[in-house]
Structure 1
């Protein structure tokens, strides 16, 4: 029965997008089964943790705003999710303003995880963003949903 529910959610999401309507991030998350007992589920209840002279952002920080000082490091660690032949993968996080927040490294992993490290530059505000999409294994179907992740970083 669980498999039928996942397939129905996938089909409903695909039909909604194909019909010209859009899903919000909340509706998209409802169409995608949550990871229970995984690192992603544990991270959803954790506040941004300062490390040394910087800040670590995770899946749970979506939609938040943080303030850092010039020269500090912002590290993004997004956790992907695998379930029943599909992988919900994050794209590499990117800065919306490289003068305020310059990316120093980052990338993606086959597990669907993504990381990025940013150095705060001049004072101002920049947005870090990434997107989660689905990759289906052979014989499996993905919902046609893109889930955005965004954090606003104020350098002051």
Structure 2
């Protein structure tokens, strides 16, 4: 009996701030965002996951690296995973917890190889997510 209770508790969906729970008839969706989604606005539903996968690049002795994506409002979009890789890639997953609007941001900067110099440029990446 303990196992059944544990499974049920793990799958129960949290209610939104207004008392709404995710619609059980609609399975949670996964929205994937990449480098090319910079500047977009997307809509998500309660319970959805938003996966951000940013790809770094290397050319002419310079590695362009991304910071780990962050949410501007962790009450609305809670980050569940996130990190960076030595090749410059970064990723994160956010869970839509409550109704509202939050912005996911990251920055791309340069890391030079020995004997190379980076330009002083930081490139922002931003997506606005509205959770309904």
TM over 0.5: yes
* Greater share of helix: 1
Please list every run of at least 4 consecutive aligned residues from structure 1 whose deviation after the TM superposition is greater than 4 angstroms. Answer: none
Structure 2 gap ranges (5+): 1-27
- CA separation in 2, counterparts of 1:137 and 1:95? 31
TM superposition score normalised by structure 1: 0.66
Match of 2:25 in 1: none
Structure 1 gap ranges (5+): 1-51
Give RMSD over aligned pairs: 0.8
Aligned residues: 105
Aligned partner of 2:121 among 138, 145, 148: 145
- CA separation in 2, counterparts of 1:53 and 1:151? 17
Aligned partner of 1:132 among 92, 108, 128: 108
Deviation at 1:53, TM superposition (A): 1.3
Deviation at 1:67, TM superposition (A): 0.2
- CA separation in 2, counterparts of 1:56 and 1:80? 17
Deviation at 1:54, TM superposition (A): 1.4
> Which entry has the higher C-alpha Rg, 1 or 2?
2
**CA-to-partner distance for each residue in 1:11-37, whole Å, 9 max, x for gaps?**
xxxxxxxxxxxxxxxxxxxxxxxxxxx
TM superposition score normalised by structure 2: 0.78
